[in-house]
Amino acid sequence: MKREKVEREFDRKKIVLRCIKIAAIIFCIVVLVRIILFPPYKQPVVTGSHEVAIEVFTWEDESRVETFTDTGENRALTVKFWYPKEEGRYPLVVFSHGAFGVIDSNYSTCMELASNGYVVASVAHPYHAMFVEDVNGKVTTVDMDFFKSVYEGNGNMDPEVEERLYLNYKEWMALRTADENFVLDTILSKAEKGEAGPFDLIDSEKIGLFGHSMGGASSVALGRQRDDIDAVIDLEGTMLGEYVGFENGAELFNEEPYPVPILDVNSDRVHEAVKEQELEGFEYVNFYVGRNALDYREVVFHNAGHLNFTDLPLASPVLAKMLGVGKVDARTCIENVNEMVLIWFDYYLKGVGELNLKAEY
């Protein structure tokens, strides 16, 4: 009996040791993957003199039920702020990430603006973002039906699916502009009440919008919807909100001139794709908007990929390469983007500097 007891104890210790070894191996694999996918990197140096504070809020929109779940819960939006620690009155700039992006997609751009005297709010769109973590630690990941629908329309020129894609575009823009309208209205309400944090620093008379990809599209759409927006930047986003109908296998464009100063930032790959569309008899909606806008400018980045307009190539070179970057130096590219964004908003929101943007980078 004593021997059996010793053997059982020995077996128990072996199992415990085996579990510890397995846990250690898993931990090492996780750390290794983390290092490979997200190695340490230096953020681009900010050019402004303001020390930057960062805060995150999660707000529930009581006017909307979350349509991605069947729980009946209201849609909740998590918003991250970058703002100067010094007292003052600063313009407000709202950022919207692209499909499968994250709240920190353009962290360096938000830091650059805040260091130069802006309150910047980045909106995380739940179920459109790759993941969102709210202030309570709840993590929401991308909706797979949305994921599939985006890739169905990625570069698809088949007339048989164009109308279905058009309906998807309208749905996406409706959701995102509702998100941004709710966030903007919440921010402005808090600013009017003089609430502490970033809100009592905001100059509500000076508001800018910018976004990447689908976030750029929704920023453009919101700029047309509201009358309190002073400037918009679209970082390589097809202006889906400018589609107002669908006939004869193609989208119809909004013929009303775009009312707000708009900066359209593209890679030369977009121009290559547009040339192919033109051969098929299609016009690119962004360039149509540009021809009819009251104040439009385009900047083209050579050798850039779609994700070079975000921080991802710095934060995760391996992942960014898998998803789409160009041959351009990633750090130089995002630094140029950040400089260009600052010049645009300085000119239109602060009335300072000159609009000496390069046409090409």
Distances (CA, A) of 79 to 30, 55, 94, 237, 338: 28, 8, 10, 21, 20
CA gap 50, 84 in Å, rounded? 6
- 78 in Cβ contact with 56 (< 8 Å): yes
Nearest to 231 by CA among 89, 332, 355: 355
d(CA 340, CA 171) in angstroms, rounded, equals 31
**175 and 217 Cβ atoms separated by less than 8 Å:** no
The answer to whether 265 touches 223, Cβ cutoff 8 Å, is no
Residue 199 is predicted with a pLDDT of 98
136: left (phi over 0), alpha (psi -120 to 50) or beta: alpha
Per-residue pLDDT, 12: 53
| Residue in the structure block whose two tokens are 């986003």 | 237
In this structure, what are the phi and psi dihedrals at residue 134, rounded to the nearest 5 degrees?
-85, 180
H/E stretch holding 264 reads: strand 262-267
If residue 205 lies in a helix (H) or strand (E), which one and from where to where? strand 202-212
How is residue 231 written in tokens? 């400037």
- Which CA distances in Å does 255 have to 122, 237, 292? 30, 19, 8
Per-residue confidence (pLDDT) for residue 32, from 0 to 100: 36
Residue 211's CB: how many other CB atoms inside 10 A? 31
**Are 307 and 324 spatial neighbours (Cβ–Cβ below 8 Å)?**
yes
Q: What pLDDT does 321 receive?
A: 83
* 84 bridge partner residues: 52
Question: In the numeric block, which tokens belong to residue 137?
Answer: 């630690």
Those residues whose C-beta lies under 8 Å from the C-beta of residue 265, and which sit 6 or more positions away, are: 233, 234, 235, 236, 298, 299, 301, 309, 337, 340
C-alpha count within 13 angstroms, C-beta hemisphere, residue 277: 17
Q: Tell me the C-alpha to C-alpha distance, in Å, between residue 186 and each of 40, 65, 82.
A: 35, 17, 16
Q: Are strands 231-235 and 131-133 parallel, antiparallel or unpaired?
A: unpaired
DSSP state of 360: B
User: Would you state the pLDDT for residue 326?
Assistant: 92
pLDDT for residue 322: 83
Digit-by-digit pLDDT tens for the chain (361 residues) are 555 554 455 455 455 445 444 444 433 343 334 444 455 668 888 999 999 999 999 999 999 999 999 999 999 999 999 999 999 999 999 999 999 999 999 999 999 999 999 999 999 999 999 999 999 999 999 999 999 988 875 555 566 678 889 999 999 999 999 999 999 999 999 999 999 989 999 999 999 999 999 999 999 999 999 999 999 999 999 999 999 999 988 899 999 999 999 999 999 999 888 877 776 778 899 999 999 999 999 999 999 999 999 999 999 888 888 888 899 999 999 999 999 999 999 999 999 999 989 999 9
Q: What is the DSSP letter of 128?
A: T
Amino acid at 86: E
Contact 237, 214 (CB under 8 A): yes
The CA distance from 190 to 63, in Å, is 18
The C-alpha atoms of residue 131 and residue 150 are separated, in whole angstroms, by 16
